Each structure stands twice: as C-alpha cells, then as structure tokens.
Structure 1
Amino acid sequence: MNIAKILAGWILPAALAFIAPLAQAATPTPARAQAGEEVFYHLFLRSFRDADGDRIGDLKGLTEKLDYLRDLGVTSLLLTPLQPSPFYHNYFATDFETIEPKYGTMDDYFAFVRAAHVRGLKVYLDQEIQYVAEGHPWWTQSLGKPQAEFADYLLWRDPQHNEAEPFLNQARWEGYDGRWIGIAMVDMNRPAVKRYFEKTLLFWADPHGDGSGRDGVDGFRIDHMMDDLDNKGLAKNLFAGFWTPIFKALKARRPGFRIIAEQSDWGYGQDWLARGNADLVFAFPLRGALTKLDKREIVEALRKTAEITPAGKGQIVFLENHDTDRFMSLIGGDSARARAGAALALLLKGEPLLYYGQELGMRGVTRKGTMSDSAHIPLREAMRWNADLDAPGSAIWYKSDKPWWNQRYNRSGDGVSVQEEGQAGSLHAWYRQLLALRRTRPELRNGTQRIVCGDDSPVICVLRESGAARSLLLVNLGTTTAKPDLDATLAGATWTDLLDGGMVDAAQLRLQPLAVRVLGTP
C-alpha cells in the first residue's frame, strides 16, 4: 500500500467526520506545550490498553485513556513503533507506510492524533528506518534478483543478492514466539532511499501535504541513531548526508517539529545534538546516577550534561524506558526512594519522561541468558488499570505457559494499579502533585539550574530560577538526618513549602533520609 492509497481511503470519511463538529460552537483547543517545557509519557502501545478484547493494546484503547494522561500532567505522548513487523515490539518494519493491523486502522490512527491534539497533547512517533525485517518487499522482491526495482535499497553481501547485509552481523534473530527472523540493513546513502524516507516521514508529519500539520505528529524519536550504521563503514556520514536534510525538510514544512535522537552509545549525546542536528537526546548518564540515588554521581552527571548541551538543544531526563529495568525493581520496592527519584527526575533541568506505569510503581527486570526479544517482556508488561490483571482492557498479549508470564512481575491485587493507587499519599498522587507543581512554576519548566549545596553534604540542593521566580529542590540522599548546606543568602531568604504549604525557615531545616522538600519564593 502506498501513501496515495492511504490518503484516498481516508480523506473523504475524515472530512465528513469534521462537518458536524464544525456546525456547532467548538471548544477552544488547548495550546500544546512549548519546546523546552514538555513532559513526555513513553508508552509501549501493545501493552497499554486493549479496546477490542484480543488482549493486544491498540489505538482505540489508547484514545480511551487520553483523559487519564492529560490529568496526570503530561504534555506529550511518545509511542513505540506502529508499523507492521514480525517482532512484537514493531521495530524492524515490513512496511513504513501503514499501521500494524492489530493496533487498528489508519482511521483509528488519525482519530487518535486528533483526539490527542484536542486535549492539548503532542504526539511523537518512534522511527527505526535503518533496517527492514524479512517480509519487507524490498527484500522479498530483490532476493536473488539484482535487477529488481528495489534491489539497491538494501545492502547486500554478494553481487547476486543472495545474502542481505545483516543487522549486527547476525543473519537471524529469535522472536519471543520461537521464530527466527532476518533483519537487513538499508542502504541509507542511496539517493532513491533518501527521497523515499523524506516523503514518508513528511507524510506522518503532514498527512494533507499543506503544511498545516492537522492530523500530523509533532515530532519523531529516531531509534538507535548513528553516523556510521552498525560501525561497519557501509553506511557512513549519515548525520550530514541522510538525517540533517530530512530534518530540515520536516521543519521547513512544520516549524516547531522536534527530533529526539536515541544516541546509539547511550552517552551524553553531544555529537547527536551538534553534528546530528537533533533537538533532544536522552540523558543516559544522568539516568544511571538517578537510579542509584548517588549524590556524587548525580552532581557529576548534571555538570557534564550542562557543559555539553548546546544552547537551544535539550536533554530528556528519565528513570526508565522500554529498554531499561524498571526503577521500582532497581530500588527494591522502596517507596521513599521511589518518591525521591521521581522528584529529581521531574524537577531537574531538562524535559522529563515517564515510562507508562512508572507513576504506579510497576516492576520489571530484563530476563538473563537469552538474546530473544522475550528478554525485555518484563519491562513491557500490561499497563495496570485494574487490580485484576485479567480485567477487560488489560493488554496481557504475552499470556502463555512461558517464563515471561509464569514469572511475571505484575500480578492481580498487588497494589500496583490505577484502581488501587487512587488514594492520597500514593505514588500516583505524588507524581500528579509534582507534575502540577512543575506546570504552575515557570522556573521548574524552563529556568536556570544551580547546585547550591557543597559536595560533601548528603543533601542535594538545586536552585531553579526564572526572573524573580525561584524554587529550591532539596533531597537528602544520605542515611541520617541532615541539614542542607546553604549559604547565608539562601538560608536567610523567605521560603514557602510548595508541597505542603506554610512558611519555612531554611536555616533551621532538617531532612530525614530520602526526604524531599521543594521551597519557593512566595
């Protein structure tokens, strides 16, 4: 299916769907978050919410839960790939122009985007276009046929096109269902390939082709972005030759469109922001320090991150994602540590990201001893809407007699669900409170940042400022009660407690281990 066919089958019904609402007085659409002030919610669609009863998360299920996400306090939704793939995670596509049928139709997709935008939520799509899986027409139609139409869209190991250049030098990869599936590298330096992906990505960003962006996404995440793909020397200079021209085309069509790069080395990301021309990278070193709640490592990562991040570019601050062990598992289920980590991740400089279910304390650790994609199922278990894991809507697509089900982390009645976490004092309530505070305080969204406690103190003290507005984040990462090591100016200032209310004498303040205080100017 090509883009022209997709549009031909969608524009007329979509246009008719718009007529009735336009005849009535419309409620003004909330403004979407400005660049630099976004709060991302990263969701694994297959595991999020099932609307049709097949236990697979889908677009209609996600659309049904948009009010939950808006009310939580996030501004932007980052979806894992939607394109068809033989792998459950939908990386390594067999078609870059359509939606995985199990997730819904193109109508469902556009309805979701419109519904998100009506609520003021941005939408970002994950893109991995550097590879194709077995079954993609470029591969099936070119195997053994070097003169085929798309024969040069892939890299090949032999002139006869009998062996495609594989991902990471392994010809086939095991899926959780036991199938072994080939993954081949795309020839990203081929002019026709560049034209194809520019056209395709422009479609997802601007389906109507008029620059309006109505029904288009607001940004892309580029998975596993590299300048030399797989470091093989076969697809080189991709920052300048492939990515930058496409990014420019997207932004020319859609000013304000944003690019998130997942830097392949999980480092600080300077090269991806500078030469790669991405807008955002992931703060991987800071994430490592935050999950340990180690003050020395956090301060070091904060300073290095600030040093390498160019003006006008940003870092996404996070505790977990679809490739990392869940934070609650890393801290042994300690609720005090969970609250401390959340406060740091949401209130430090940068644009925070929550991974679905993080606000509930969902657990999960990568399975050891296998290269199958089943290894990461524990990190991608069903979003916990109800106490009963088997309740309608639960996306337990992985239910089976296999270890990833029998040894699952999330179980009925374990206290980790939206239904069970709704009370005051819960982790979910804590996330909502922190996000509401961030929303109301400009210095927490886009202010400067300064570490104001000495390195020898167990209390990390971070001052955020924007004009006259000031907030002071204090977290005791030590094991004993401690006094913040503030200078006389800060200790003697007039502060209010932004979380619990009331005036605070900072000079007399003492924090219990893992206690969090957020002070602000009145």
Structure 2
Amino acid sequence: MKTNKLIILACLSFGLIFVRVNARPWAPVKNEVIYHIFQRSFYDSNGDYHGDLNGIRQKLDYLQELGVTSILLTPLYESAFYHNYFAIDFEKIDAKYGSLADYLKLIKELHRRGMKFYMDMETQYVTEDSRWWKEAFGNPKSPYSDYILWDDKDNKKPSTIVYNLTGLTGYDSVSRKITTANLNSEASKAYNLKLFSFWIDPNGDGKFDDGVDGFRLDHMMDDLDNKGRLPHLFDTFWNPLLTKLRTINPKIKIVAEQANWFSLGTEYLEHGSVDRVFGLRLCFAIRSFDKKLLLANADSTLAMLPPGKQQVVFIENHDVPRFSYAVKSDLAKLKVGCAFNLLMGGIPSIYYGQELGMTGTTANFGATDANEIPDREAFEWYKSDTGKGMALWYKQTGPWKDHFNNDKPNDGISLEEEKQDPNSLWNYYKQMIIIRKANPAFVDGSYKTISNDNDQVFTFLRKDAGQTILVAINLSDKETGANIEASGNPVNIIGDVKPEIKGEKLAINLPAFGVGAWELK
C-alpha cells in the first residue's frame, strides 16, 4: 500500500554466463517472473535524478538478461506524494515519469519483446488537490459530489481514510488532506469502468498491444477500512467492474493486495473475482528461517488454492524492509531467499535491487512518508553509486537528504560489481531463473511439502504430468543431514550433493544454508 503502510505490522526479521536477448513479437508470457519496480528509484533517463518511463524502457535489455518476463510498477498517476498513492488526477501520468506518449512507447516495446505490464491502481482515495474535492467541497450540487464520501450533507466534512486519518505529510514536508472515494455511487462506478478500460485499450482498437496485461489492486477490501460506510464492495463494486473489464480483454490478470496482511487472501480468490493474491504470510515465513512457520504457511498458501487461481510469491516489496536487512546481508541466506522465491510455486515476483542484495529498513523520522524511503532507494548500477541514470531524487532536497546512506560505494552491492563475480547474488538469481524456466514442474507443477527428520531442513516436491522435482533447503548455518520421505532415482538439478537411496527414503547431507534440487526418475 502507501507509505508507512498505514498499518502496524511486525515484520519477521530474524561460472559467469551472459545471455544474448533477442526481441520477439508479442505473445502470451509463459514461465512468468515479475519484476516489481519502484520507478522513481530505478533509472533516470533525463538527468533530473527521478527514475522515469524512458529509463525503464532503456533498461529492458537488462531485465531480459536477468530473465524476468513482466514488470509491475507502483502507481504512475499524478500525486502530491513521491510514491504516487493518493491521487490528484488518475488520468494524468506524473510528469517526472514522462508523458502518455512515453508510457505507450514502453508498453509497446514490452509487448514487442514478449513481456507483460501490470499497472498498480488505488482509486479508493484522493487528495484535496483533486478536481473532485475542489469542485464538490461545500457544493452538494456539484457533478463531482457523489465521487467523494462525505460525513455531512453540506459537503464540508470529507470522510477520513484508513485509521481515521485526514491527511499525510510528505518527505518534502508538504502536507495534503486526503479523503475516501464513494465507490458505491453510480458516478464513481462509471468513472472507474472508464478509467480502467482506457488503460486496457488506450486507442480502442481491440488489439491491446498498447494496453496493460493486468492490474494490481492496492488495499483492496470488501468493507473499505472496516468503517461500515462502504460494505460489501466485492458484490457492489469489484465483481461488476472486473467482470466488465474481462469482456474487453478476457486475458487480463487481476492481483489483489489484501489489506489484511495476515490473511491468506482466500476470500479475494473465492468472492472478489481476482486471479491472484500476494503470498504475504508465506513472505514473512520465508524471512523467518523458521521451519514451523514455513510448514504452517506453505501448504495453505500454495497447495490449497481454488482452481485456476494463483499466489504471487515474493520476499520483498515496496512496503517491507529489504530481505537483505532481515538476514544481515548474509550471502548464503540471500541465496536461500532466492531459492524459496523462485522454486516454491505460484508466480514469483522480484523487487528491483533484490537481485543485488540491496538493503534498507523503515526509518523513524516521525509523521512523514520519508520513513520508507530506505526500502525504496536508487537501484545501484555502479560500484561508485554515482553516474548516469542514478535516481537519487531523495538526496536532492528536504530535511532527510543526508540520512539515506544504504548505497555505499565499493561495497560489492551493485550491478557493475556483481555481473563480474560468478559467486554473486545477481548471478545466482540469473541462474535460478534459467533453471526454473528449463524445468516445467517449477513453472506449472503442483506444490507439496515433504516430511523429513531434521527440524532445520525444509523439503518439498514440485510435480507436473511429466516431471517430479524434490527441493531441500538447509535453514541453518551448519552442515546437516536429513532422511526425506521421498523415493525415486535422484538426478541433480541444483547443487552437487547426491542423495543416497535408503529404501523408501532419500538421505541427504547439505552444507550450511545449502540448496539442492533433484528430478526423481
């Protein structure tokens, strides 16, 4: 969701190959791997220190070299806040990111390469700068009156947002009032249908080469903010909207960010008409390195899905501390996180810079959205952490500019340094993606947790009609062994450890934080 998450959440923290990428005509993506970009911090194409759409387009070769197939951006629309949640105008792209023409060039280039694009949308809230607010405040007869939820009949009291907040202060000390949109008004429903439909097919020609491949619905709720003012939104707002959008393009995918992070998201999949939810509980279980938490969440997240539905599996996003911070930049643990992220199942999502081991955690600067900038700092392209394209927007102005220092020069955490190191995290991610795509069971196979006799070893199967793969991960910092309740002749896919066949079990010995995968013949 938006900055500071507006939620109190205890996060659990406890051979070099270069691939030449050739563009191909747009086609439905298989073997999907999403790359989640906080675009203001990715790559600056025009020297103003703000990452932008042209910068992303210029770096598509990089993304394809890494192996990702789809990109998800944080919101693009005009907002007073750096993260672009809480809109001023849903129809305008933030000028720092570029123009509508720049956006369309990016989408068409993605599709030309056979890649997908997902747009982040949060139409539940607007700021005092919006036309709706300006024209309807104190004017119940305004055509925009029904777009906003009011707490009085005179339109003098715009309703609060989550946690009864009336506004926020930005990192640049600019404060804005914020209110809730009236999603149950007919005017609001019609507006949302028009807005979402435009992004699906901007020129209306029915070809979709210039349109989104899906939406991320931020902070989706059935009873918005649990206030009882907008109840049953699945039935009254979301289901009708998404059904109509699918009549425009039946292939679009809808992923919901469940507002309750401790929810498995089942209610969204069964009643909210979405295709995917985020594996939030699984994310925090992975970050804990706790086998009990993994056991409690893996099956419920991955093995108990309604037919045709999916989980987005991730270990980082723009709302949580970096995984590297959680594991204290331990390279072996970072590689374990990569293995979980890419091998367990669902649709994997990699947060920009995760593949480098970029670090950062929520700061404590008071009541400001600056607190989460450390989780959203500039992608580290160069070992000097300076140079063309570095999106250091947060170091240019404001009272916080000298406090963000996770990007240290010559620390081994940059694309320039890691591409040349065959043992780097970047190369590990690249090879894991290659392995994932080469083995159909990792892409489309079912998930099943497999028992073993060691509390520090986590084992699971990925299986499709033609392939069964056993994965074992040592969660400890010591070499350890385990007897696994699995049978078959193991053929190495990852690692050089060969399990020993012991009747109906397989015995393995893994190095500290070791990862192994075997196809069972």
- Counterpart of 1:200 in structure 2 is 195
Structure 2 residue identity aligned to 1:51:
S
- Counterpart of 1:497 in structure 2 is 492
Partner of residue 280 from structure 1, selected from 276, 301, 305: 276
What secondary structure sits across from 2:96 in the alignment? helix
- Counterpart of 2:5 in structure 1 is none
Q: Is the 8 A contact 1:42 1:356 kept in 2?
A: yes
Cα separation, 2, equivalents of 1:402 and 1:28: 47
Partner of residue 93 from structure 1, selected from 83, 87, 92: 87
What secondary structure sits across from 1:498 in the alignment? strand
The Cα offsets for residues 439-490 of structure 1, whole Å up to 9 and x where unpaired, read as: 1110000101222233644211111111231211111113433223223x52
Q: Structure 2 vs 1, CA of residues 416 and 479 (structure 1 numbering), >3 Å: closer, same or farther?
A: closer
Structure 2 residue identity aligned to 1:514:
F
The Cα offsets for residues 308-345 of structure 1, whole Å up to 9 and x where unpaired, read as: 52111111111110000000001111111111111011
Q: Is the 8 A contact 2:497 2:510 kept in 1?
A: no
Task: Please list, as runs of the form range in 1=range in 2, the aligned pairs for 1:350-389 lying within 5 A after superposition.
Answer: 350-368=346-364, 370-389=366-385
The answer to whether structure 1 residue 511 and structure 2 residue 487 are counterparts is: no
Q: Is the 8 A contact 2:29 2:69 kept in 1?
A: yes
Structure 2 residue identity aligned to 1:448:
S
- Counterpart of 1:391 in structure 2 is 387
- Counterpart of 2:341 in structure 1 is 345
Cα separation, 2, equivalents of 1:255 and 1:484: 47
RMSD over aligned Cα atoms? 1.8
Q: Is the 8 A contact 1:208 1:214 kept in 2?
A: no
- Counterpart of 2:413 in structure 1 is 416
Structure 2 residue identity aligned to 1:70:
Q
Q: Structure 2 vs 1, CA of residues 151 and 174 (structure 1 numbering), >3 Å: closer, same or farther?
A: same
Bigger helix share: 1
Q: Structure 2 vs 1, CA of residues 306 and 418 (structure 1 numbering), >3 Å: closer, same or farther?
A: closer
Q: Is the 8 A contact 1:272 1:278 kept in 2?
A: yes
Q: Structure 2 vs 1, CA of residues 515 and 79 (structure 1 numbering), >3 Å: closer, same or farther?
A: same
Structure 2 residue identity aligned to 1:166:
T
Structure 2 residue identity aligned to 1:49:
Y
| Post-superposition offset of 1:401 | 6.4
Q: Is the 8 A contact 2:36 2:351 kept in 1?
A: yes
The answer to whether structure 1 residue 248 and structure 2 residue 243 are counterparts is: yes
Q: Is the 8 A contact 2:499 2:509 kept in 1?
A: no
| Post-superposition offset of 1:127 | 0.1
Task: Please list, as runs of the form range in 1=range in 2, the aligned pairs for 1:209-220 lying within 5 A after superposition.
Answer: 209-220=204-215
Q: Is the 8 A contact 1:125 1:221 kept in 2?
A: yes
- Counterpart of 1:458 in structure 2 is 456
| Post-superposition offset of 1:509 | 3.0
Task: Please list, as runs of the form range in 1=range in 2, the aligned pairs for 1:12-23 lying within 5 A after superposition.
Answer: none
What secondary structure sits across from 2:120 in the alignment? strand
What secondary structure sits across from 1:101 in the alignment? coil
Task: Please list, as runs of the form range in 1=range in 2, the aligned pairs for 1:108-119 lying within 5 A after superposition.
Answer: 108-119=102-113
What secondary structure sits across from 1:234 in the alignment? coil
Cα separation, 2, equivalents of 1:406 and 1:98: 32
The Cα offsets for residues 363-385 of structure 1, whole Å up to 9 and x where unpaired, read as: 01001352311111000000111
Total equivalences in the alignment: 492
Cα separation, 1, equivalents of 2:87 and 2:23: 38
Q: Is the 8 A contact 1:398 1:405 kept in 2?
A: no
The answer to whether structure 1 residue 448 and structure 2 residue 443 are counterparts is: no
Cα separation, 2, equivalents of 1:501 and 1:407: 41
Gaps in structure 2 of 5+ consecutive residues:
1-21
Q: Is the 8 A contact 1:496 1:504 kept in 2?
A: no
Structure 2 residue identity aligned to 1:411:
K
Cα separation, 2, equivalents of 1:404 and 1:272: 40
| Post-superposition offset of 1:166 | 2.1
Q: Structure 2 vs 1, CA of residues 117 and 405 (structure 1 numbering), >3 Å: closer, same or farther?
A: farther
Q: Is the 8 A contact 2:493 2:519 kept in 1?
A: yes
What secondary structure sits across from 1:98 in the alignment? strand
Q: Is the 8 A contact 2:173 2:398 kept in 1?
A: no
What secondary structure sits across from 1:289 in the alignment? helix
The Cα offsets for residues 207-257 of structure 1, whole Å up to 9 and x where unpaired, read as: 122332120010000000011111111112111111111111111111110
Structure 2 residue identity aligned to 1:461:
T
Task: Please list, as runs of the form range in 1=range in 2, the aligned pairs for 1:121-270 lying within 5 A after superposition.
Answer: 121-168=115-162, 169-266=164-261, 267-270=263-266
What secondary structure sits across from 2:40 in the alignment? helix
Cα separation, 1, equivalents of 2:456 and 2:498: 24
Structure 2 residue identity aligned to 1:466:
D
What secondary structure sits across from 2:433 in the alignment? helix
Bigger strand share: 2
Cα separation, 2, equivalents of 1:219 and 1:111: 17
Structure 2 residue identity aligned to 1:210:
D
The answer to whether structure 1 residue 425 and structure 2 residue 419 are counterparts is: no
TM-score (normalised: structure 1): 0.91
Structure 1 residue identity aligned to 2:119:
L
Cα separation, 1, equivalents of 2:53 and 2:429: 25
Cα separation, 2, equivalents of 1:477 and 1:332: 15
- Counterpart of 1:520 in structure 2 is 519
Structure 1 residue identity aligned to 2:59:
K
Structure 2 residue identity aligned to 1:141:
E
The more displaced of 179-188 and 475-484 is: 475-484
The Cα offsets for residues 94-123 of structure 1, whole Å up to 9 and x where unpaired, read as: 111121111001110000001111111100
% identical equivalent positions: 38
Q: Is the 8 A contact 2:24 2:114 kept in 1?
A: no
What secondary structure sits across from 1:406 in the alignment? coil
Q: Structure 2 vs 1, CA of residues 508 and 276 (structure 1 numbering), >3 Å: closer, same or farther?
A: closer
Cα separation, 2, equivalents of 1:504 and 1:307: 26
- Counterpart of 1:17 in structure 2 is none
Partner of residue 324 from structure 2, selected from 322, 325, 328: 328
Structure 2 residue identity aligned to 1:211:
G
- Counterpart of 1:22 in structure 2 is none
Q: Is the 8 A contact 1:464 1:472 kept in 2?
A: yes
Cα separation, 2, equivalents of 1:232 and 1:331: 37
What secondary structure sits across from 2:80 in the alignment? coil
Q: Is the 8 A contact 1:268 1:308 kept in 2?
A: no
| Post-superposition offset of 1:172 | 2.1
Gaps in structure 1 of 5+ consecutive residues:
1-25
The more displaced of 367-376 and 330-339 is: 367-376
Structure 2 residue identity aligned to 1:344:
F
**Shift >4 Å, 4+ stretches:** 500-508
Higher relative contact order at CA 8 Å, sep ≥6: structure 1 or structure 2? 2
Cα separation, 1, equivalents of 2:358 and 2:285: 20
What secondary structure sits across from 1:415 in the alignment? coil
Cα separation, 1, equivalents of 2:519 and 2:422: 23
- Counterpart of 2:8 in structure 1 is none
